[in-house]
């Protein structure tokens, strides 16, 4: 059985990154897909001293148990979202650590601008480095002008985006072996 975990760096239900994450899961076609809940409290050492929040423990278990992970990140002010960074910060504090170690991970982004979230992906790669996942290098899935990139059913409209996503999901499937 292969389990795919999806992390969306936007909390908004109608986020194009949530749509992209769901489309990636459809293309990957896992036996099971879990969309993680990143609506977590802001990281605070005082909160940590009282115990890791249940939502963080649940997220850590989901990452640990997944065969592969997809991360869809919006670009906020030229970087990954605070929501996603906060989740990564919390995951760095769970015991036992190493939930990301050697985990196959594919990242993607959808943004309103013409770069499709390129800087968000760059900053996300940097933030994931200390966790040592098996981060796929490509193909890059950068959905520009994302408000017009999806059909009503949530599928990508442009063939070049469809092809890049299909190739990335095939690479992730191989990595999850």
* Nearest of 88, 4, 102, 72 to residue 40 by alpha carbon: 88
So what's the pLDDT on residue 159?
A: 97
So what's the pLDDT on residue 33?
A: 98
pLDDT tens figures, 63-92: 999 999 999 999 999 999 999 999 999 999
**CATH (domain of 162):** 3.40.50.360
pLDDT band at 27 (very low <50, low <70, confident <90, very high): very high
The total number of residues shown for the chain amounts to 177
What is the domain range of residue 107?
3-176
Q: Domain count of the chain? A: 1
| Contact present, 16 and 75 (Cβ < 8 Å) | no
| Contact present, 107 and 125 (Cβ < 8 Å) | yes
The arithmetic mean of pLDDT across residues 98-106, rounded, is: 97
Mean pLDDT across the chain: 97
pLDDT tens figures, 108-163: 999 999 999 999 999 999 999 999 999 999 999 999 999 999 999 999 999 999 99
- CA 75 vs CA 13, 54, 131, 171, 174: distances in Å: 16, 28, 21, 24, 28
């Amino acid at each position: 059985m292969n389990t795919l975990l999806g992390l969306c760096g936007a909390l908004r239900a109608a986020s194009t990154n949530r749509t992209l994450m769901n489309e990636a899961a459809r293309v990957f076609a896992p036996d099971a897909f879990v969309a993680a809940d990143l609506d977590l409290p802001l990281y605070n050492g005082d909160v940590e001293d009282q115990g890791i929040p249940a939502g963080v423990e649940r997220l850590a278990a989901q990452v640990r148990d997944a065969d592969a992970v997809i991360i869809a990140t919006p670009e906020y002010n030229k970087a990954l979202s605070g929501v996603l960074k906060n989740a990564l910060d919390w995951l760095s504090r769970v015991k036992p650590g190493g939930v990301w170690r050697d985990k196959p991970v594919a990242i993607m982004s959808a943004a309103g601008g013409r770069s499709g979230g390129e800087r968000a992906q760059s900053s996300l790669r940097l933030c994931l480095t200390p966790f040592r996942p098996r981060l796929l290098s490509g193909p890059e899935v950068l959905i520009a002008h994302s408000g017009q990139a999806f059909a009503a059913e949530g599928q990508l409209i442009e063939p070049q985006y469809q092809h890049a996503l299909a190739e990335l999901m095939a690479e992730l499937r191989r990595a999850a072996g």
